[in-house]
Each structure stands twice: as C-alpha cells, then as structure tokens.
Structure 1
Amino acid sequence: MPKEKRFPYVAGMNRLAALVAAASLLLPAAPAHASTDGERLVSNQAELNAAIGTAGTIVMADGTWQDTVIDLRAPGPLTLRAQTPGKVLLTGRSALSLNSPDLTVSGLTFTSGQAPDGAGSVISFNSDRGRVTDTAVIDFNPGDPATPYYWVFFKGGHNRFDHGLLKGKAHQEPLVGNDRGPAATYNRVDHTRFADVPNLRRNGMEALRIWGYGQWAEEGAEEGAYFTIDNNLFEHVDGDDEIISLKSNHNTVRNNTIRQSSGGLVLRYGNYNTVESNAIIGDRYPASEGIRVSGDHHVVRGNYVQGVSGYGLKVTSGEHLFDENNQLDYLTPDFVPQPNPRTPHGYLFHYGQVTDSAFTGNVFTGNAKSDIHIGWFYKNHWPGYQMVLLPERNTFTGNLSHRPEGGVAVTTSVQDTAPPLAKFSFQPNAFRGNVVYGGTLDVNPPNSTEGIKVVPSRDWTPPAPPRTEETGPSWQAG
C-alpha cells in the first residue's frame, strides 16, 4: 500500500489550530449575555450587581425577580431597563435606589411584595438628575397597615418620576414624598396614574406630600422645594383628606385630574405656590373636596371643580400667635400654642393667614357646598387654637360659579369683634368680573359684593374641564 503523502503547509496549519484551541482554554470566559453595543442582559441578582458600574445599559431579563434590592450607582450615566416593559416583576422584599447622578430606570413592576425591613421607600432618589419612567408599583403592601414607607421618595434634586402607575397602597405614609433637606429641590412627578387607595382612617396617607423650605414658617421669599406635579390622574384615591399636600414654598401643580376621590388639593404650609389648570371631578363622591389654600402669595387660576360633596375653594383663616415683638400673644388663658424648635420663633401656627394671593379664572359647577368660602375655619377649635386672622388683600378675578340646584355660591366668614378680638381689623379682598349663575351670596365686611355679578338663571352650560394628557406606563392595559 503506497505511503500517504504529507503536505508540510497543511500539517503546520493543523498544529497552529491546536495551539490556538489550547490557548483559548486559558483565557477568562466573556461575561454571559454581553453585547458589543454596551448593553448587558442580566438574569439574576449576582449578574445585576456585577454589571452595575461596568455597563452603560443593563437589561433585566423578563420574569420574576424575588427579593431583589437594586442599589444603582455608577461613575457616569447608566441606564437600567426591562427586557420587555412591564414584564420584569420585582416581588417579595424588593426595592430600587438611585445613588449617583444621571441614572435612568424604565419598565419595572413592583408587585406581590413589600419594601425590605427598615427601608423608607420602595423607590428612592438619593442623588441628582435621576429618572424612573414607565414603571409601576402595585399592591406592594406589608401585612401590617401601620408599617410606614413611601412608594417613591426624593432626597436629591432635579429628579423625575413619570409615566408611572401607583395603585393599591394600603399602609402608612404617602405614596410620594419629598424630603425636608435642602438638596430635595426641582423634582417632578408627571403623567402618572394614582389609583385605588383605601381610607384606613389614618393620618399621613396622602398621594403626594411635598416637604421643603417653607414648612416651618421660614421667612425667606426665594427658597422652596420648587416641586412640579403635572399631568397626573388620581382615581379613587381616598387615603387622606389631602390628596396633594404642599408643605413648602414655590411648587407648581398643573394639568392634573382628580376624579371620584376623597379629599382635595391642599396648600397646607408654605407660600408662593401655583395651582393651575387642574380638573377636580367629584361626581358627589363621598368626602370629595376642591382646593384648600393657606399661606400667602399663591396663584390659583384656571382650575375646574365639578360636583364635589364639599367646597369648591376654601381660603382658610390663619392662626394668630405673636405680638409685634414676636412674643406669644395669649388672647385667652386657654390658648395652647404649638411648639416647634425648627421655626424662627419657636412655635408653628396651625394654618397660615391667606394674603396677597390671586384667584383667577376658576370654574365651579354643581358642588354641594359653597363654591368659594373665604375665611373657612374661622375660630375653629377656639380658644385652644387662635384661628382669627381672616384672609385679606387677595384678588378674585373672572371666576365662574354655576349652581344648578341653587344655594350660596360665595361665603365670607363673619368677623367676631367682641373682646378680645376687637383689636383686629382686616383689609378687604378685591373682586373683579366674577359671575354666579343660579346662586346667592353671603358676603360680609370688610368685603363687599362689588365685582360679583349674580345671574338668576341656572340655565348655563359651563365650559369643558381642562384635559390631562395620557398617563401611566406605555404597557398598561386599558
């Protein structure tokens, strides 16, 4: 049998291939799911932790992520997203925190679980310029309703939570909160749907509670939280009588819709806030309210309040605390002041007097109680509280009141001029171009009815309410 003929070139190539194959066994394996475009697909907590800080974009694989705590921090911008929006389910004791600037998270769903023990919130913005979008927290409740944590909380500044769904919160603390610290400024919540929050008869279950400069009666005019709440939808949000609670200066609440919810839109503490182009549709839902205002230099314009079971607009009386030397002024021995060491003079009023604010172009229709009540809460809890400072120097311009069932449209509280209150006098509020259809007036000094036109006919069609843009995650059904 003839001997096989060997070709030196082919033999050399075979030896080279063998050497390359052997050498490859000594090299470290490439990371699982790595791609050449900077994205990394991860499928468990260990892979996720390894990818944080090393990949530009992390993609969480679809499926259930049990007991997953996502601690995001990176030396530069980082994106974390669901493989399919809405299909990454964080269950058990899971949470997300953004702990360095310029982080973006999208497409996650927290459900069938609760925040880890000791966690203050499910989603935490602990740094600046973060964004969480297209994300939901649904029924993420502890076994004990008294267990307190937020679902979204802002400690840093210039952050945004948008196109979210926050549904079914049934435990202590608001859904969304802003920190008291000076870093928590210029944050925003927008295009988010809030839904199905039961009334557990517990205080402190607002949809949004915005703390910041101004909460403790600080006297600076420029400082504030500068929080923006816009284009959100609230449906059956019944946890607190303050659905949106502003407790700071310089916030904006714009183009939101509150529908069939117990409570109202409340400026509780702080000054220089703007509330505009919101629609509150009560449909006589139990305990539904319109807008309540305390403090000074606010702008309330272009809002629409329909069919609430309470008042359309409550402009509160303020509490008298101090004399001209900032010493406590006891009008009676039974006064019980509210001490607070954070305030400039050691005590905090229950409600701030409303002054120098503008109420313009608001529409009220079909509400059960007065559409505008100026001086609400006057002498409430007297003499323990000294709620005796009537609103003054405010302007009411171009507001429309429609009373299809009649009743009082505009009410101003009657001042008690007997001692010890005889020393107080107030400037009038100004009314210009306001119209009442089918209602009556109960306006008392120092105010007058000049600038309020009463049309007896109830046959008037109010304009359509402002419309909120599309809310909620892109992937939500319905």
Structure 2
Amino acid sequence: MRLFFVPLIAAALVVVPGPPASAAQIRVTSLSALQSALDKANPGDTIALADGSYSAGSTLTIKRSGATSAPVTVTAEHVGKATITGSKTFAFASGVSNVVLQGFKFRNGASLSVPAGASHNRLSRNDFQLTSDGNWVTVNGDDTEVDRNVFQNRTSQGVFLQVLGPSDAMAQRVHVHHNYFYNHQFSGSNGGESIRLGLSNHQSYAAHAVLEYNLFEKADGDSEAISVKSSDNVVRYNTIRDSRGYIVLRHGNRSVVEGNLLFGSGIRFHGNDHKIVNNYVANSGDRAIVFGSGNEADSGPTSKLHDRPDRVTVAYNTVLGSHSVIDGDGGDFKPKDCVVANNIVKGTSGTLVTMPSGSTVKYEGNITFGGTAGIPSRNVDPKLVEDAAGLYRLASGSPAIDAGAGSYSYAAKDFDLQARTGTFDVGADEYFASGATRVPLTKADVGPSAP
C-alpha cells in the first residue's frame, strides 16, 4: 500500500488502499488537494474528485503520465456530479501521455486543450457547456480518444470540438466516438461547426482520424456539422438529425464517408479521391448529396478556395429528397473523373440528379424514381418499405436486389454493417429476409451515460 501526504490539506484528502500493483485510489474534496494529487500521480492511480461544485481560479495542470496498461485516471467520483466553474480548467502539460480525464461537468469559462506532444490521452464521459466563446475543446496531440462526452447549448461563434495539431502537421489517429453534439444555435453564416477536423492551411496533411458513432441534433451553428479540412480521414456510422449542418469534406483528399444515417442533413465534398459509400441520406428538401463548387482545379496547401472534386466515388447510397437530390454547385472548375454508381435516388418531382454542364462523371447501376432522372439510370420504383426505426429499406422483389454494376469492393458492407453477398444490391441496404438491422443513434447510445 502506498500513501500520499499533502501538507496543510489533510482534511481534504482521503487515501484509500490501492490494488496489489501499488496503484492508488485517491479521493479529494478540494481543487487544491486535486492539484497536489496530480503532482504526485503514478501509472495506474485514480484520482476522484468528490461530488460538488468547484470554482477554478487557477489552472489544474496534469504533469504526470500513466502507462499504456495503467493510465492515470482523473475523474469525478460520480459521472456528472463534480462541476467545474470559474475562469480556469484542466491543462495537459506537453509530453503527458496515458491520462484519462472523465466524468466532469464543465461550466467554466476556459477552453480545454490537449497540446501537441501530449499523446494517448482520453477525454471521456464529460459534459461541456462552457460560458466562453471560441473553440471549447481542441485536440492537438496524437492518438487522443474523445468518447462519450456531451457538447451542448451554445449560441456563440466557435466550434464544440476542434482537431488540429502542430503548425506543420495534423494530430494523428484521433478517435472521436459515441459523443452527443446538441443545440448549437449560432446565427451567423460561418464558424459554428460541431466538429472541425483541420484548417485550410492543414488540408494537405494526413490525419488518419476516425469519427464514428456520434449523434448530432440541432447542429444549426453552421452549414457544416462536421467540417473536414485535412486528408485521409474516416467519417462513419454517425447519426445527424434535425440539423442544418452537413458532413462536409471542405478541404483535403482521400477521405471516406461511410454508413452515416442523416435526416434533414446531407453530404457535401470538395477535393480528390474521396469515397462516399453506404450512406442513408433522407432530406425532405433538395441537395442531399452535393458535389461542391470548384473555384480552382487543385487547392494549394494554404488555399481557402473551393477545390474541384476529382476522382470522387459516390456509390451504394440511399438518397431521399424532393428534387436535385444529388446536386452539383458548379463553379469555374467542374467535377472531373468522378463516379456515381449503384445509388437509389428517390424524389418527389423535378430533376433528381443535377450536375453542372461540363462535369465528367461515370454513371452506372443507379436507380431513380419520383421525378426525371437527369442521368442515365433505371427509372423504376425501388420498392422501399419503412421499418420500425423509420428507415426505408428494400422489400422483397425490389429491382435493386442483385442489380449492382461494376466492382466496388470498399462498399462490401451495407449500412447495417452486414456483408453484401453475390452481386451487391443497389443502395445502402443489402436485402436479407432476416438479420441484424441498424437503428439511428439516440441519446441512450451516446454521451456520459452510454454503455
């Protein structure tokens, strides 16, 4: 057993025996005691702040690292029951690794940052509703995990979560999952994203980030709920509903947008060599999937202009809307060498796919219904039926079954994450008479109380 002694604050610090591996379980009841315990932490230690509200007038600095199999855990004693107020917050020192910060309710005025050089840290099960403007949480450190948090309720400019990195690179392998992004109501035209992954001057840097299983509701602070401004990322299995914000590949190349469930939202992209596959996009208006405008052929490393989409594949999506369901913004530089294949595009009237004149796009295997196709396609009722979760799926006898054209091996799992068999079915859903079916994420699946 290892004991910690903190001069002058003994009443605020209760030491509990640790497990045989000498890790300590430390309960503190003041911020001064918390800082003292942070200064002495060793791998495997858990430091728990008792329930209550604490005003932070000075920064709580995390200087001590854990180990891969024995992180330092800094936690609220009970999730959501320790509230941080005041003008300051936690700070990770450069070089700190393997620290978990979890369970706090942040109602303070200072933004939280994981700096470049701090790696393999985790922000988990926290509730962020800060009193300040600017970007609430910024991740610059490699291999950071951001999971099961809630970011909620702001009307000011700035993003809930920014992933960036050092000035000449992107943070690597950041994993953002099972978070709840709720109610950003900034009324300006720009600068209120829920997640911003990079900046224009980072667009050429590969990040290899994965954003998955997050829920976005009322993401109205910007037309971009997820704004990607870096390269080589994966955005998959998220649910967006009741939001004006889209998934937007604003800058960068070679990203994958896969298996997302979008209601009243959509996908827009610029840049090269992206794959937009197996998404379910139901937008009661128009422009559910948008080929972004091209103000230049290929963006330079610091350009803020719109890059023309080159060699982007849009395949095996189910896209529901009114008219101009799949659309192109135009611009001087038209989409080039792109593919639109094996999608179900269902509207109500007008032209369903409206690409700018001069675009070079290969079309194959698409099924359109409910308006004028606008592209070479099979204009036939795909026979979609609504399931208990409100998703429109293939019915037995649908002409989409076993009708996929071409070879798109990267679409080999449908939006239920079931392996497609034989000739793939057109659209996001592979028909099975029985089997696992996915449902949109709800608040029970994400945030601090999620499994």
The TM tier, using the shorter chain, reads 0.7 to 0.9
Q: In the aligned structure 1, how far is the partner of 2:73 from the partner of 2:315? A: 43
Judge conservation of contact 1:210–1:247 (CA < 8 Å) in 2: yes
**Match of residue 221 from structure 2:** 239
State the aligned residue count: 374
Bigger mean CA offset, 349-358 vs 68-77:
68-77
Secondary structure of residue in 1 paired with 2:16? coil
Q: In the aligned structure 2, how far is the partner of 1:300 from the partner of 1:474? A: 31
Alignment partner of 2:114 out of 113, 117, 124 = 124
**Does residue 71 of the first structure (1) align with residue 67 of the second (2)?**
no
Secondary structure of residue in 1 paired with 2:39? coil
Task: Give the letter aligned to residue 134 of structure 1.
Answer: R
Task: Give the letter aligned to residue 433 of structure 1.
Answer: G
**Does residue 105 of the first structure (1) align with residue 91 of the second (2)?**
no
Alignment partner of 2:186 out of 192, 196, 199 = 199
Q: In the aligned structure 2, how far is the partner of 1:395 from the partner of 1:87? A: 51
**Does residue 393 of the first structure (1) align with residue 337 of the second (2)?**
yes
1:389 deviates by: 1.5
1:217 deviates by: 5.8
Distance verdict in 2 for CA 1:216–1:93, change over 3 Å: closer
**Does residue 50 of the first structure (1) align with residue 36 of the second (2)?**
yes
> Please, what is the CA RMSD of the aligned residues?
2.5
**Does residue 136 of the first structure (1) align with residue 123 of the second (2)?**
no
Task: Give the letter aligned to residue 73 of structure 1.
Answer: K
Secondary structure of residue in 1 paired with 2:35? helix
1:308 deviates by: 4.0
Secondary structure of residue in 1 paired with 2:32? helix
Q: In the aligned structure 2, how far is the partner of 1:30 from the partner of 1:265? A: 50
Gaps of 5+ in 1: 1-27, 116-120, 283-288, 323-339, 379-386, 416-425, 444-448
Secondary structure of residue in 2 paired with 1:65? strand
**Identical columns (%):** 25
Task: Give the letter aligned to residue 367 of structure 2.
Answer: V
**Match of residue 329 from structure 2:** 377
Judge conservation of contact 1:53–1:75 (CA < 8 Å) in 2: no
Q: Which has the larger radius of gyration?
A: 1
Task: Give the letter aligned to residue 172 of structure 1.
Answer: Q
Alignment partner of 2:316 out of 353, 356, 361 = 361
1:216 deviates by: 5.5
Q: In the aligned structure 2, how far is the partner of 1:169 from the partner of 1:103? A: 28
Q: In the aligned structure 2, how far is the partner of 1:235 from the partner of 1:141? A: 20
**Does residue 352 of the first structure (1) align with residue 307 of the second (2)?**
yes
Distance verdict in 2 for CA 1:215–1:93, change over 3 Å: same
Bigger mean CA offset, 256-265 vs 90-99:
90-99
Q: In the aligned structure 1, how far is the partner of 2:322 from the partner of 2:370? A: 14
1:186 deviates by: 0.9
Task: Give the letter aligned to residue 193 of structure 1.
Answer: Y
Alignment partner of 2:148 out of 146, 163, 167 = 163
Judge conservation of contact 1:265–1:292 (CA < 8 Å) in 2: yes
Distance verdict in 2 for CA 1:215–1:453, change over 3 Å: farther
1:122 deviates by: 3.0
Task: Give the letter aligned to residue 71 of structure 1.
Answer: T
1:215 deviates by: 4.4
**Match of residue 382 from structure 1:** none
Task: Give the letter aligned to residue 302 of structure 1.
Answer: N
1:54 deviates by: 1.6
**Match of residue 15 from structure 2:** 34
**Match of residue 60 from structure 1:** 49
Provide, for residues 123-174 of structure 1, a one-character-per-residue CA deviation record: whole Å limited to 9, x for no partner.
5355100001111112x223xxxx4x21211111000110111110222211
Report the TM-score when normalising by structure 1: 0.73
Distance verdict in 2 for CA 1:109–1:122, change over 3 Å: same
Q: In the aligned structure 1, how far is the partner of 2:306 from the partner of 2:170? A: 26
1:49 deviates by: 1.2
1:351 deviates by: 1.1
1:300 deviates by: 0.4
1:475 deviates by: 7.5
Alignment partner of 1:411 out of 351, 354, 365 = 354
Alignment partner of 2:372 out of 430, 435, 440 = 440
Q: In the aligned structure 1, how far is the partner of 2:313 from the partner of 2:239? A: 21
Gaps of 5+ in 2: 1-6, 19-23, 386-391, 395-414, 416-437
Q: How does 1:303-318 map to 2 (within 5 A)?
A: 303-318=279-294
Judge conservation of contact 2:157–2:186 (CA < 8 Å) in 1: no
**Match of residue 393 from structure 2:** 463
Secondary structure of residue in 2 paired with 1:33? strand
Alignment partner of 2:211 out of 229, 233, 240 = 229
Q: In the aligned structure 2, how far is the partner of 1:86 from the partner of 1:293? A: 37
1:178 deviates by: 1.4
Q: In the aligned structure 2, how far is the partner of 1:268 from the partner of 1:71? A: 35
Judge conservation of contact 2:201–2:303 (CA < 8 Å) in 1: no
**Match of residue 378 from structure 2:** 453
**Match of residue 474 from structure 1:** 449
Judge conservation of contact 2:246–2:266 (CA < 8 Å) in 1: yes
1:98 deviates by: 2.5
**Match of residue 190 from structure 1:** 177
Report the TM-score when normalising by structure 2: 0.77
1:72 deviates by: 1.1
